[in-house]
A and B are shown apart, each in its own frame.
Chain A
Amino acid sequence: MKLYISEGNPHCIKALAVLELTGVKCDIEVISHEEKVVPHLSRPVSPVLLLPSGTHLFSPNSICQYLYDVSGQAATDATSQWLEWEATNLQPAVLQSLHMVALQGKRVEAAAVMKEPLNWLEQSLSKRSTAFLTAEVMSVADVVLWAALYPLLSDTSFEAGELVRCWFGRVDSLSACRAAAHRILQGNEALKTFLQKHTASLSPRRDAPANTDAEDECVMSVEEIEAAAQVWAEGLTARSAVIERKHPILPQEGKRNVLLTSALPYVNNVPHLGNIIGCVLSADVFARYGRLRGWNLLFVCGTDEYGTATENKAREEGLTPQEICDKYHTIHASIYQWFQIDFDFFGRTTTERQTEIAQDIFWRLHERGFLLEDTVEQLRCESCQRFLADRFVEGVCPHCHYPEARGDQCDKCGRLINAVELRNPQCKVCKETPVIRSSKHLFLDLPKLEGELEEWLDKSIGSGDWTANARHITRSWLRDGLKPRCITRDLRWGTPVPHQDFKDKVFYVWFDAPIGYLSITANYTDQWEKWWKNPQQVELYNFMAKDNVPFHSVVFPCSLLGAQDNYTLVNNLIATEYLNYEDTKFSKSRGVGVFGDMAKDTGIPSDVWRFYLLFLRPEAQDSAFSWADMAIKNNSELLNNLGNFINRAGMFVSKFFDGCVPEMLLNEDDKRLIAQVCWELKQYITLLDKARIRDALKCILNISRHGNQYMQANEPWKKIKGGDDDRQRAGTVTGVCVNVACLLSAVLEPYMPTVSHTIRAQLQAPPTCASAQLQGSGSFVCSLPAGHRIGTVSPLFQKLENEQIEALRKRFGGQQPEEECVGAKTQSSCSASVETKPGASQADLNTDPERVKHLTTLVAEQGDKVRALKAQKVEKSVIGEEVAKLIELKKQLCLAEGKSPAPAPPKGKKK
């Protein structure tokens, strides 16, 4: 055992004294203040006790306690309480005080700092009759406290109570203590050196516990309440007009011109809930909010269609790439339509304008010397007449000799492979042996653009809203230094490279896809440049999931900066974390999770889906979709909180006041509620202005919570039966509530557009009420004045029952492929199969037993056929066709059974 101490460090006094007092055998080594003994601590500390087992104790009190423990004196509640107090209360005060005395000579202030802990000690001593802190004999507590106080109280003029002085003297008189103190603090100089070096340990700590958001409640001043009541009384004014959307939307002088993009979804797959919340849904909420706020806003998106994955998919389904794109583009568009994503334009990347604009940017980069040429060795299949992209080739792993290693990685040993290193490489399509050919490629010279990029980033991040993850990811890319990035590919399905020397090549998707934003806008309006070459007037928002950040913050801006054509660059980059599915990942190939096309088959309304996804929005950390939680949120928040309040407010007007909003005479209670609602509204606006979409949703729920409490406290349903005063009161409360409901319809519009319109229709609210209340910093006004006639009120939400949710969870929670799969490789195509338990809870659905029977037979036959072909190792393309037929049959079978079709088969082997 060994004790490391350093001179001048007052913490070492106690360890040394205890060692002497307990008589435990131990070596002592003196180290300097800079010496690090404990491997896992980043700063040098002492004292440290190295135990025979190799463990280091680095807390002075634990060292003392340990030495007492091994010599037979275990800790008690009383000793551990003193040790805890010493560590949390006394030590910080002592260090601060020592600092003042020894380094700054401020004796008065130093004494003041110690006043509170010394008083506490004095009081505690006064309550006991024993000589020491916990008993008649000395314990670890006495040594520890004495040692802590020694540097201050060894100066007899330092102010301290009488009992403290007596107790201190008793401990101090022991020779073991004296010796330890002298050994550590020889003269004042050693202590001074220590204190100077350890100013860091005095770094300010927050004294108050961290604010939990539950305590973020507003405290209203009288002035605020009066001001809110005054605004309320003004009602809707004439100047609030509804702005009609007129296409094409173009930037306007004197307006806030906002260009909003959502990451382009890749065309070859059906998007899952995580994709939807990550980009299009988040962007849609913000777009709807912006329009309500009166911004001149254009929201564009589209499908990203070029690349290997599309080519693969086309081969799988036996279609041309263009046909695949057409098919999936329609699927995407219809999913987003169901989710009520209100794009101004939803385009695609496979258009003439894309070629034009991408080639223009290419030439500009080329002319300005931002492109480099380099030769890359690649495998080429002579019989297919093409270069093989990494996943088009298989062979023997050069490291572990696994026979089915892919061109980029070996599945067995996991090592990364350069395709040309594969032994016995084979083209995946025709099984021929490819040859090595060198192929010339173009690289974007990112290092050359780095300086300009950093300058722009500083400005953009400094002035705009970038989510924390966007900033982090960008910074880490820059910190590691940028390398040239290849922008060309030996593929067919892409935007052709216009350069003579690269005529059989296309642009690599990462270069090409973001240009899609421009070309999609160009397909929307000929005057697209007014948006995209107008950084003076236009503010650009990009919404995406975080995996897309580097392309939007580093790579694409470099393309645009290098092209030097006054492009509009991103001002606000809003990235989400990931959404998981019931504690696992969404997986197409395992059939786990809810995909966009299935959401509508659940029977749960689009607005409820939107609500729950936005409630979960992975804003600062990952979140997970859970069916049970969805039911809880629907039933507690939507049904019992929001729906209940709005419905009751409306019902009271209909039932008690013949459908006419009653006269309102506000008292203090009413004004307080109005002020509270107004405060939440302002919060909502502050948060949404910064695209904190999930947090702002909480404000909406708070408004209706306040409303419910207010209604509950004032009981208009009882007062309506009372005398004139009570009836008057019931009228006021009902009137205020129905106006809160009207405000709720406004703030809900970005989140739940259908519900919002339903509320407004039920209340027959004036069309301007939403935009009027959301102007500026937000104002809650009486938009349904006395006498206003409302329409028919009906419930807004339905309860989600447990059985219903359980059934959904079973249906979507990782269905097992029912067929035996032929080898792991074909697993993906098999997973498209669905459970076909006959008769299982299908009775209530609209099914046709004859057709189901017929299709079941067909599916079985087709399945046999596919298996037979696979067993014969027939050419892949032939199998592919048959598999496609099988999938189609299964889909029809599903529909006939009244189930949602299983997901379309996933592409390739991507996990």
Chain B
Amino acid sequence: MALRELSSLERFLGLKKPNKYSTQGGKKVPVLQNNNGPALIGLVTIASHLVHEAKRAELLGDSAEQRAVVQQWIEHRITRLDNCSKEEVKVILKELNQYLEDKVYLAGNIFTLADILMYYGIHHIVVELAILEKERYLNVTRWFDHIQHYPGIRHHLPPVVVLRNRVYPNGHH
């Protein structure tokens, strides 16, 4: 899972030479063997490393504040979203929906690594949503649709159909 995500990220970043990854432990934490230094462990660490390698540091945020926000959402993804329980999913979606109410991207107006990793991590949840739920979490759906259509992002994941018009204008008809 994490490995496919990293290879999609590599392709998005336009890295020519694909890296070789292995995993560690029962949780299958990704490991990147590095020629000029110790191995890097963990999705966030490797992803940030790849962004630097591709000279796309702006994807981690342009200011200290943005960098913190990007890091926060990536951490949110790996600590709360990954492997969370069914009940927790609803809370996470609700919170994210409210957060995105006045934002285009997770870090406000710029597209960052947080959007990419959050999209990869939330995809399996959004795929399962019924239309009614997609409409309940309208801001999440809008953001999600936006990211999945962002050039070069989707790669290993199937597209999720998002309807342009609402089916349940008032909760139900």
Contacts and interface: CB of A to CB of B under 8 A. Distances in A.
Contacts of A204: 85
A589 interface: no
Interface string B125-139: 001111110000000
B131 A57 contact: no
Contacts of A39: 98
Interface string A422-439: 000000000000000000
A485 B88 CA distance: 37
Contacts of B124: 210
A85 B75 contact: no
Contacts of A84: 41-45, 75, 78
Interface size class of A (residues with CB under 8 A): 35 or more
A66 B130 contact: no
Contact of B72 (A40, A59, A70, A480): A59
A88 B42 contact: yes
A377 interface: no
B40 interface: yes
A889 interface: no
Nearest to A49: B68
Contact of B68 (A65, A622, A624): A65
Interface in B65-102: 65, 67-69, 71-72, 75-76, 78-79, 83-85, 87-88, 91, 94-96, 98-99, 101
Interface in A48-106: 51, 53, 55, 57-59, 61-63, 65-66, 69-70, 75, 77, 80-81, 83-85, 87-88, 91
Contact of B161 (A472, A473, A477, A583): A583
Nearest to B133: A472
Interface residues of B: mostly helix, strand, loop or mixed? helix
Contacts of B41: 81, 84-85
A39 B99 CA distance: 8
B16 interface: no
Nearest to B41: A81
A620 interface: yes
B95 A41 contact: yes
A621 B68 CA distance: 35
A62 B68 contact: yes
A55 B64 CA distance: 12
A587 to B, nearest CB: 12
B135 to A, nearest CB: 12
Nearest to A71: B64
Given A40-B99, A206-B85, A476-B172, A55 B69 contact: yes
B55 to A, nearest CB: 15
Contacts of B1: 209, 212
A19 to B, nearest CB: 14
Contact of A209 (B28, B42, B99): B28
B161 A621 contact: yes
A468 B44 contact: no
Interface in B25-73: 26-29, 37, 40-45, 48-49, 52, 64-65, 67-69, 71-72
Interface size class of B (residues with CB under 8 A): 35 or more
Contacts of B101: 40
B15 interface: no
B75 A622 contact: no
Interface in A697-754: none
Contacts of B161: 580, 583, 621-624
Contact of B79 (A57, A87, A580, A622): A87
Contacts of A468: 130
A84 B64 CA distance: 18
A471 B52 CA distance: 48
Contacts of B94: 42
A539 interface: no
Interface string A9-45: 0000000000000000000000000000001111100
B18 interface: no
A469 B98 CA distance: 24
A61 B99 contact: no
Nearest to A62: B72
Contact of B130 (A63, A88, A472): A472
B83 A207 contact: yes
B67 A622 contact: no
Contacts of A66: 64-65, 67-68
B171 interface: yes
Contacts of A578: 131, 163, 167
B78 A88 contact: yes
Contacts of A623: 161
B83 A80 contact: no
A207 B27 contact: yes
B131 A622 contact: yes
Given A55-B69, A203-B85, A621-B128, A81 B42 contact: yes
A88 B172 contact: no
A75 B67 contact: yes
B160 interface: yes
Given A51-B65, A209-B28, A622-B163, A81 B40 contact: yes
A77 B39 CA distance: 10
Contacts of A304: none
Given A66-B68, A577-B131, A622-B161, A208 B26 contact: yes
Interface in B1-24: 1
B152 to A, nearest CB: 19
Contacts of A621: 127-130, 160-161
A854 interface: no
A208 B165 CA distance: 37
B131 A62 contact: no
Contacts of B127: 621
Given A84-B45, A207-B83, A477-B172, A62 B71 contact: yes
A289 to B, nearest CB: 25
A247 interface: no
B67 A206 contact: no
Contacts of B95: 40-42
Given A81-B42, A91-B79, A472-B132, 14 more contacts: A40-B96, A61-B75, A62-B71, A77-B45, A80-B45, A81-B41, A81-B45, A207-B26, A209-B28, A472-B130, A547-B167, A547-B173, A621-B128, A622-B161
Interface of B: 1, 26-29, 37, 40-45, 48-49, 52, 64-65, 67-69, 71-72, 75-76, 78-79, 83-85, 87-88, 91, 94-96, 98-99, 101, 124, 127-132, 160-161, 163, 165, 167, 171-173
25 contacts: A40-B95, A40-B96, A40-B99, A40-B101, A43-B91, A55-B69, A65-B67, A66-B68, A69-B68, A77-B45, A83-B75, A84-B44, A87-B78, A87-B79, A203-B87, A203-B88, A205-B85, A207-B83, A469-B130, A469-B132, A473-B172, A580-B163, A585-B163, A621-B127, A621-B128
Q: Would you list the 4 A-B pairs with minimal beta carbon distance, nearest first?
A: A66-B68, A62-B72, A40-B98, A69-B64
